[in-house]
Chains A and B, each alone.
Chain A
């Protein structure tokens, strides 16, 4: 294998037939190049979509109240359902539930600090919302249980609100007016995975008290510790039935109690991506096989062309195995080098594309109020796949060379040397 003479023999033949070698290699390089681009694109699409998903915990679930649309136990439809703190306490302790947060909607969203003001969304919540929506604290803290218990007028500002009102001044400890009521800033946060941070978070108890909510809650956000669609559906149904009993509505009434089960969506979407991935591999390997068949074909012609030479070699004592080695190694050498070039070019192109995508993402984030939406991110292929592809190439080279090599070994010197 590492016999320098053998390599010199092979390199001499390759050098003798540059065009033929180039064309052979090109088909393989192209195959690998396409495989890299396909895989990279698939990854990019997957990463882009996943990123949009990951803004909240993937096992999150939401419930919100509305009007009944089905008559229930003698009561007409069109009845308003009101959830409250008791429901929160019940749901919080159900098995399979990790974190639960209730929210009471408050009207009007004018935020002001000194002479600066703006309209933003104020969300009342429990401390657990941080886990459910994967909120990232960049300064200070999130709402805590003491805020809830003592109904403190604390607020955690989204980064965009902070930027607009405070313009880089120290904000922690300062008071922001929300609908003319002063709230003390305890933290600055970012919404995970997103680029828009225009929400402010208040303790739910304070919201209820200050904005006349009594014990009412409008929705629940929670995370569950389920891993399959079936488990998450079971939990969803359990909560719907529980709330249905307490508030007297049909558990299947989606108008009375709306719900959204994220895990279900995530699992379904990931299934699609797995399918896309399989599809990409099939196409990629198909392209590669076309390349390998090309190499095999050209090697057959090479053997035919070299019949006389191989005959001479055999007449002066070349063993069949040395002839096989000659053809096989040439095939492997061409496929590996050409394939590697295709691999590097493909990976390089995807890295370049990644650079452009990231720039556009940053640009759109800058112009669109920090809202850089994209369906395509990080379209690159990881190292393991590149290594697997290289191994595949060497095997492909061996396969491509095998039949021609066998044919070369069968050449009879006398037939090869016959003068015609």
Chain B
């Protein structure tokens, strides 16, 4: 699904050059649930942006679904994003003057689906998220969890192969975070690859594989088996706090 080799990325601000990604090799298969962890400045958001074709890279190669993504035209990148990829952000990034249904339907607008049809589909997805009665509400009338569920519905509506979630629980309380993670896991069980950036261990522990970034390189990759014990441990801790 995703294959990157020796990926380099620098940001140039004025006369300073900041080398953010220093040679990353990574392979993610269809249906995996991967989290990317790391301290701030480790390059995890940059990596996600490159994977999501929101940013370009300087060196190396990136294959998405078998296609080399490099120096793509804006138009082609937009099309790929629309068809293959869904995004979930920390700050939800809903359009403030559109109601929940219109927000969810927006990706289909860019696919040229008629208004009536895309609104109908949007309602189905909102229903799945348990937000059917909130369809006509504006984002500022909803809670953080509801907004994030609207955003997830929006990322799903174009039937993407991969969902990129950048700190999706960063702005939510623990209970809501867990609800959101449950939804993401359900989506993952339907075969959609999920790549999640987070700095919370308990959230990362819910995924199949953790990639830990440190100073622009992959420091370690923690796989399935180890994760189970991680998850148990964190769940217990959370329960203890809850009690």
What is the interface of chain A, defined by CB distance below 8 A to chain B?
Answer: 4-5, 8, 12-13, 16, 308-309, 311-322, 409, 412-414, 417, 419
Contacts of A316 in B (CB 8 A): 81-82, 86-87, 106-107, 110, 154-155, 158
**Main secondary structure on chain A at its contact with chain B?**
helix
The chain B residue with its CB closest to the CB of A309 is B95
- Assess the A318–B78 pair: CB atoms within 8 A: yes
B side interface size, CB within 8 A: 31
The chain A residue with its CB closest to the CB of B89 is A417
Q: A308-B93, A316-B154, A317-B78 are in contact. Are A414 and B106 (CB under 8 A)?
A: no
- Assess the B74–A317 pair: CB atoms within 8 A: no
- Assess the B110–A312 pair: CB atoms within 8 A: no
How far, in Å, is B54 (CB) from chain A's closest CB?
5
Cα distance, A313 to B81, chains bound together (Å)? 11
Whether a CB of chain A sits under 8 angstroms from the CB of B115 is: yes
How far, in Å, is B85 (CB) from chain A's closest CB?
9
The chain A residue with its CB closest to the CB of B86 is A316
Q: Would you list the 5 A-B pairs with minimal beta carbon distance, nearest first?
A: A317-B82, A317-B110, A319-B78, A16-B97, A413-B54
Q: A412-B54, A414-B55 are in contact. Are A317 and B93 (CB under 8 A)?
A: no
- Assess the A319–B79 pair: CB atoms within 8 A: yes
Q: A413-B54, A419-B90 are in contact. Are A315 and B109 (CB under 8 A)?
A: no
The chain B residue with its CB closest to the CB of A312 is B93
Q: A309-B95, A319-B74, A319-B110 are in contact. Are A5 and B115 (CB under 8 A)?
A: yes
A315-B87, A317-B81 known; 4 other A-B pairs, CB under 8 Å?
Answer: A316-B81, A317-B110, A320-B78, A417-B93
- Assess the A414–B49 pair: CB atoms within 8 A: yes
Q: A5-B115, A316-B107 are in contact. Are A414 and B78 (CB under 8 A)?
A: no
Contacts of B140 in A (CB 8 A): none
- Assess the B97–A13 pair: CB atoms within 8 A: yes
Q: A5-B109, A419-B90 are in contact. Are A315 and B54 (CB under 8 A)?
A: yes
Contacts of A5 in B (CB 8 A): 109, 115
How far, in Å, is A134 (CB) from chain B's closest CB?
66
- Most chain-A Cβ atoms within 10 A of its Cβ — which of B49, B98, B155? B49
Whether a CB of chain A sits under 8 angstroms from the CB of B91 is: yes
The chain B residue with its CB closest to the CB of A6 is B109
- Assess the A412–B87 pair: CB atoms within 8 A: no
B138-156 interface bits toward A, Cβ cutoff 8 Å, 1 = contact, 0 = none? 0000000000000000110
The chain B residue with its CB closest to the CB of A409 is B74
B12-41 interface bits toward A, Cβ cutoff 8 Å, 1 = contact, 0 = none? 000000000000000000000000000000
Contacts of B49 in A (CB 8 A): 414
Whether a CB of chain A sits under 8 angstroms from the CB of B233 is: no
Whether a CB of chain A sits under 8 angstroms from the CB of B235 is: no
How far, in Å, is A317 (CB) from chain B's closest CB?
3
